[in-house]
Amino acid sequence: MSGKKPIGRPANQDASTALKAVALRLVRELGYEKVSVSEIIEQAGVARQTLYNRWNTKADLVLEAVFEQTNTYAAEPSWDGAEDCRTLLEGFLIRIFEHLRIDGDTLRALIAASQQDAKFHKSFHANFVLPREEMITALLRRAQDHGELSPGRNVETLSALIHGAFWYRLLNRGVLDAGFAKEIVAETFA
Amino acid sequence: MSGKKPIGRPANQDASTALKAVALRLVRELGYEKVSVSEIIEQAGVARQTLYNRWNTKADLVLEAVFEQTNTYAAEPSWDGAEDCRTLLEGFLIRIFEHLRIDGDTLRALIAASQQDAKFHKSFHANFVLPREEMITALLRRAQDHGELSPGRNVETLSALIHGAFWYRLLNRGVLDAGFAKEIVAETFA
DNA sequence: TTGATCATTAGACTGCCGTCCACTAACTAC
DNA sequence: GTAGTTAGTGGACGGCAGTCTAATGATCAA
């Protein structure tokens, strides 16, 4: 598939990377709400329309900018280590929480934005929410296979409980640290 | 205390009730985002400033309007029934979920708004979030006292897990029904 | 070269929230 | 009564996100 040369003026890739870089920097510096689109395009040196050619909203741009970083942070836990699933889950949560120390405020803003824009909610859910949910359910299922977790437990509900716990803390600006991760795991496997 | 006559022109109570009634109706009809302040004040027949004399933002007004309704819906579970705590918790969650069928979308919008306005977050947390969280922790503590729940479990963490589960479902537009309530309780007491 | 197609630019424009202002209305204290 | 204080009215205003337009630029196909 493809090999087809696209017709018309090609999109300027530098503009995209500049926009993402500026957006990520400004959002981390000032916070999502305080960064205006005008400020972003000015510092990136492009026109307003150029931004909206690639992303539907400010939230889409910031999501993509953060997403590239996040994938390097919170990758899947190494599957083949000698550790048990409980330790794997704990490490996975701890790594997520560490990343949230940097981008937690931005993520809060994106969750808020996703409640206000149905289209953005879809892509946010597909790119951010679902993948993480699936990692946890897979981990829990593996724990069941290994006999670490009773086969009678409902893995989907457990996953909702675990994810919900840190969403709840995040949105209520509670503490998200290794201690909380340990407690979550302890209650899950209790 | 009081008996002191306040000085100056007294606030028109009708304006407040009209604003709350109109806001609640419009928000339920059209959804929070689609209702503009201009529409609310026009239908309530008051000036813009009158609204902002009583509430800081649209979110504050809607919160209060919904809050009055919610208190009639999701009151504390009757403490002295013969039921066990597990059943109490289940009934409590089911009643919350029923109310969310009506105002769930509005609550989602308010949660979003609370992420974008620190002052509103404070009052939202104090009026809405904390009271419910305390009801659940109290219920869980009681379950420990009655021997229904192991005394080794961390009640605060469990409460975060339970609340988080339905926040997570709510914000991701998942299904919130009696079945989910039962599953939550089952996993909590597992 | 010429025409078609898509990207970029600068800027005007709409609709929104929340603020501000000048004026008027209602009430208390004296 | 009159002065002081607070609330309500109507409308202007500023700042924001996102849309739209007209002109220019870059690339491919014939």
Mean pLDDT of the A160-174 span: 97
Mean pLDDT of the B108-131 span: 96
For A61-188, CATH number?
1.10.357.10
* pLDDT grade for B83, boundaries at 50, 70 and 90: confident
- In A, minimum Cα distance to B158 occurs at A187
Residue A62 buriedness (CB in 10 A; 0-12 / 13-18 / 19+): buried
pLDDT at residue A40 greater than cutoff 50: yes
Mean pLDDT in chain A? 93
Mean pLDDT in chain B? 93
Write down the domain spans for chain B: 13-54, 61-188
Nucleic acid strand C within 7 Å of B37 CB: yes
Q: Decide if B111 and A115 are in contact by the 8 Å CB cutoff.
A: yes
Interatomic separation, CA of residue A117 and C1' of nucleotide D17, rounded (Å): 13
B134-169: pLDDT as tens digits = 999 999 999 999 999 999 999 999 999 999 999 999
Pick the CATH number of A13-56 from 1.10.10.60, 3.40.50.920, 3.30.110.70, 1.20.210.10: 1.10.10.60
For the record, the structure tokens of B46 come out as: 């008051």
* pLDDT grade for B2, boundaries at 50, 70 and 90: very low
**What's the pLDDT at A1?**
47
Residue B37 at interface with chain A, using a CB cutoff of 8 Å: no
Interatomic separation, CA of residue A7 and C1' of nucleotide D18, rounded (Å): 27
Residue B34, CA distances (Å) to A116, B40, B110, B173 in order: 10, 11, 14, 18
Nucleic acid strand D within 7 Å of B116 CB: no
Mean pLDDT of the A134-139 span: 94
Answer yes or no: same fold for B13-54 and B61-188.
no
Mean pLDDT of the A3-29 span: 93
Domain B13-54: top CATH class: mainly alpha
